[in-house]
Structure formats: C-alpha cells, structure tokens
Chains A and B, each alone.
Chain A
Amino acid sequence: QSVLTQPPSVSGAPGQRVTISCTGSRSNIGAFFDVHWYQQIPGKAPKLLIYGNNNRPSGVPDRFSGSKSGTSASLVITGLQAEDEADYYCQSYDSSLSSGAVFGGGTKLTVL
C-alpha cells in the first residue's frame, strides 16, 4: 500500500486532456514538502516530468503541468499524444519518515 494514492489507470483520446490525482496527508503533501512527478516508459528508468509542484525541467513540453493544494496534487496533460502512453508516479517526502521519500502507486496512462 503506497503512502500517496493515485488512480491505477486513466485514458484519453489523442488531443484530449487528462488529469492524474495524487492524494497524501498532513505529514507529506500537506506539510511543507514539494511534489514531483515522473514518467516511466516500460523497461526504462523514471524521468523527471514536474518538480517543485509545478515546474518543468528543460525539454519537457508545456503540455504537462502540475499543481498542489492542501494534501493533494495533480498532473494535467493536455493535447494528449500517443507518445504520452506510460506510467506516471507522484513523489514527495514524509515527516513521519524523518523526511524520507514516498511514492504514489503509479498511474498507467493509455492513449486510445
């Protein structure tokens, strides 16, 4: 059971918008810790997609955006493309783990 809760799967047609939620608690997302998002293509290492709640590393398209509110965070992908089909993970830190890292269980995005 993951500390952060994500939906197991989401789907959308090309060009559509999808949202992936990440729900935590007052000891992680609801504390002062930032939320980061990763994209993982099967067989590959995770790749940083969003850092610090809503910042994109260089090279990540602006179709990807993140937000945080209270004890939850969201990843929004607009203008869905076939290449976006992957697993997505949220990540934060937890004061009950002495600032240890925590992950969501992952969300499989299917592009229809």
Chain B
Amino acid sequence: QVQLQESGPGLVKPSETLSLTCTVSGGSISNHYWSWIRQPPGKGLEWIGYIFYSGSTNYNPSLKSRVTISVDTSKNQFSLKLTSVTAADTAVYYCARMDFWSGFYWGQGISVTVSS
C-alpha cells in the first residue's frame, strides 16, 4: 500500500518561500501523476498543481506565477515551492497521487502558517 508523507517547516515568514517535500513509500513514483492540494483553515480544497514522473507540470492559474513543483525519482520524492507567501497562503498542504480515472490518494497533510 503506497504511503505519502509531507515534510517541511510549519512556519514561514511573509514574502519568503514555502518549501515542502512529499516522500512516497510502498510504491514507485514512476508512471504516475503527483499533486499538491491545500486547504486554508475552515475552507475548502484548492488544487495547486501536478507533475508527471517524467517532469511535465500543470499549475492552477491563480498560483502559477509563484509555484514550482519538481520530482526526484531517485529519492521517490516530489516537492513544492511557493514564493512570496502571505497570510493567505496559511493552510494545510496535502500531497497526493493523482489519477484521472480513480481520483486522489492523499497524504496526511502538513499545517503551514505564514507569520512573522
């Protein structure tokens, strides 16, 4: 059974870059799409973007100018970078395996607060 685990700092200062990593265990990162999704406190789910294991990406237009998703197949990991963060970026960030026909398979999530 594949497992996904997010890691990274829980507190980021305004204007800085949020960096998170998702480690995939119990299965290969190859031949799949991998995604980041976030959920602000008390609000709904927002798709951030996805990456195919080969490196091709697709980002939410509302975040595209600030987002980079990358993959490291040798480490079975993929990562998120979000630049110039503000308080509005405070959220629980989920990594997930994405399949167009069977939906998202989620990590447990990591809470990130943007505050000085």
Listed in ascending order, the chain A residues whose CB lies under 8 Å from chain B are 2, 33-34, 36, 38, 45-48, 51-52, 55, 89, 91, 93, 97-106
Contacts and interface: CB of A to CB of B under 8 A. Distances in A.
Prevailing SS type, chain A contact patch: strand
A92 to B, nearest CB: 10
B26 interface: no
Contacts of B103: 34, 36, 38, 48, 51-52, 91
Nearest to B108: A45
B107 A100 contact: no
Contacts, number: 66
Contacts of B100: 33-34, 93, 99
Contacts of B104: 36, 38, 46, 48, 91, 101
Contacts of B45: 38, 46, 89, 91, 103, 106
Interface residues of B, number: 24
A72 B2 CA distance: 31
Contacts of B16: none
A34 B109 contact: no
Give the top 6 A-B pairs by smallest Cβ distance, nearest first: A36-B103, A101-B47, A45-B106, A106-B44, A103-B45, A51-B102
A100 B44 contact: no
A91 B107 CA distance: 17
